C-alpha cells in the first residue's frame, strides 16, 4: 500500500498513533490475498469471495484514509491523488475477480474478465504508477519534473470508467474509445518522459542507470501494448493483454523502481 509515499509527497508525517491501523490494513490485505489464492486452487469459491470482500474493504478503508491525508495537506500533490484513485479501483476489480472465480455463463465471462483487467491493471496499477512516476521518473533521470500528471490522471481515470462500462455492456466501440483515452493519458506523460530522458545526450553525467532505463522501457511497453490492444478491441476481442501489461509494464516498473528506491532508502546511495 502507498501510505508512506503519500506522506512524502504531501510533506506530512503521520503520528505514531496512525501506524497500527496502517498495519491492520496490510495484515488484512495479505491474509485476504492468501485466501483468494488458496480458494482458487482448491476451488473453494466461498473462500475466494470472502478474500475478495476483505481486499475490497481493506482498499476502500485505505482510499478513505489517503483521501483524508490529501485533503488535510497544506499543498495538494497531484501524484497523491493518483494513489487515492488507484485505491478506489481495487475494491471494484476484486469483486469482478470473485465473480470470475467460479466461471460466468457464455460471453459474460470474457466481458467481466476484460472489465477486471481494466479496473485492476489500467486503474489500480496504472493510476498508482502515474502518481509515483510523476516524482520518481525525474528523480531517476535527474531532470526537472514536468507538470503533466494531472491531465494524464484525468484522462486515464475517465478512460478506465468508459472501458469498464464498454466491457460490461459488450459494446466494443465504447471499450475501444475508453482504451484510447487511457492511452492518450499515458502518451501525454510518456512524451514528457522521453523529452526528459533525451537531455542525457547533451548532459550525460552518468544518468543512464538500470532503474532509469527500466522505468522508461516499462512505460514504452505500456504504450505499445495498449496501442496494439486498442486496435484489437475495436475489432471486438475479449482477450486481455496480460503479458505486455503485467510483465512488460508492471513487473519491469516494479523491479526498476525498487532497484532505485531500496539503495536510496537503505543508505547505499544512488544506483549506477
Where along the sequence are the contacts to ligand HEM (CB under 6 A)? Answer: 36, 40, 48, 52, 55, 93-94, 97-98, 100-101, 113, 116-117, 120-121, 124-125, 240, 242, 246
- In whole angstroms, the minimum distance from the beta carbon of 49 to ligand HEM comes to 8
Burial of 75 (0-12, 13-18, 19+ CB in 10 A): exposed
Q: Among residues 199 and 237, whose Cβ is nearest to ligand HEM? A: 237
- In whole angstroms, the minimum distance from the beta carbon of 120 to ligand HEM comes to 4
- In whole angstroms, the minimum distance from the beta carbon of 95 to ligand HEM comes to 8
- In whole angstroms, the minimum distance from the beta carbon of 142 to ligand HEM comes to 30
Burial of 251 (0-12, 13-18, 19+ CB in 10 A): middle
Cα distances (angstroms) measured from residue 203 to each of 102, 127, 140, 225, 234: 55, 31, 14, 31, 43
Burial of 15 (0-12, 13-18, 19+ CB in 10 A): exposed
SS3 206: coil
Q: Among residues 78 and 253, whose Cβ is nearest to ligand HEM? A: 253
Q: Which residue is nearest to ligand HEM (CB)?
A: 97
Q: Among residues 154 and 246, whose Cβ is nearest to ligand HEM? A: 246
Q: Among residues 48 and 181, whose Cβ is nearest to ligand HEM? A: 48
Q: Among residues 120 and 134, whose Cβ is nearest to ligand HEM? A: 120
Q: Among residues 10 and 226, whose Cβ is nearest to ligand HEM? A: 226
Residue 236: CB atoms within 10 A of its CB come to 11
Half-sphere exposure of 165 (CA within 13 A, CB side): 10
128-159 CB burial, b ≥16 within 10 A, e <16: bbbbbbbbbbbbbbbbeebebbeebbbbbbeb
Spatial separation of the C-alpha atoms in residues 229 and 183, rounded to whole Å: 10
- In whole angstroms, the minimum distance from the beta carbon of 71 to ligand HEM comes to 26
Q: Among residues 66 and 125, whose Cβ is nearest to ligand HEM? A: 125
Spatial separation of the C-alpha atoms in residues 181 and 155, rounded to whole Å: 6
- In whole angstroms, the minimum distance from the beta carbon of 219 to ligand HEM comes to 17
- In whole angstroms, the minimum distance from the beta carbon of 250 to ligand HEM comes to 7
Amino acid at each position: 500500500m502507498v501510505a508512506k509515499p503519500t506522506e512524502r509527497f504531501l510533506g506530512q508525517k503521520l503520528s505514531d498513533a496512525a501506524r497500527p491501523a496502517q498495519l491492520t490494513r496490510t495484515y488484512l490485505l495479505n491474509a485476504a490475498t492468501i485466501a483468494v489464492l488458496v480458494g482458487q486452487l482448491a476451488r473453494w469459491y466461498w473462500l475466494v469471495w470472502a478474500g475478495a470482500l476483505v481486499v475490497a474493504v481493506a482498499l476502500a478503508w485505505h482510499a478513505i484514509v489517503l483521501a483524508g491525508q490529501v485533503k488535510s495537506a497544506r499543498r495538494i500533490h497531484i501524484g497523491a491523488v493518483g494513489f487515492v484513485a488507484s485505491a478506489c479501483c481495487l475494491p471494484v476489480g476484486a469483486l469482478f475477480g470473485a465473480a470470475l472465480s467460479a466461471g460466468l455463463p457464455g460471453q459474460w465471462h470474457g466481458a467481466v474478465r476484460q472489465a477486471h483487467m481494466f479496473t485492476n491493471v489500467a486503474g489500480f496499477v496504472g493510476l498508482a504508477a502515474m502518481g509515483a512516476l510523476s516524482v520518481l521518473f525525474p528523480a531517476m533521470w535527474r531532470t526537472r519534473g514536468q507538470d503533466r500528471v494531472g491531465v494524464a490522471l484525468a484522462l486515464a481515470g475517465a478512460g478506465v470508467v468508459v472501458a469498464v462500462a464498454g466491457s460490461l455492456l459488450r459494446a466494443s466501440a465504447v471499450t475501444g474509445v475508453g482504451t484510447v483515452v487511457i492511452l492518450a493519458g499515458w502518451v501525454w506523460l510518456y512524451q514528457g518522459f522521453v523529452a526528459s530522458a533525451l537531455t542525457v545526450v547533451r548532459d550525460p553525467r552518468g544518468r543512464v542507470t538500470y532503474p532509469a532505463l527500466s522505468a522508461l522501457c516499462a512505460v514504452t511497453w505500456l504504450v505499445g501494448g495498449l496501442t496494439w490492444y486498442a486496435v484489437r478491441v475495436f475489432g471486438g476481442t475479449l482477450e486481455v493483454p496480460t503479458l505486455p501489461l503485467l510483465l512488460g509494464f508492471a513487473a519491469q516498473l516494479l523491479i526498476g523502481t525498487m532497484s532505485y528506491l531500496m539503495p536510496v532508502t537503505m543508505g547505499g546511495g544512488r544506483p549506477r
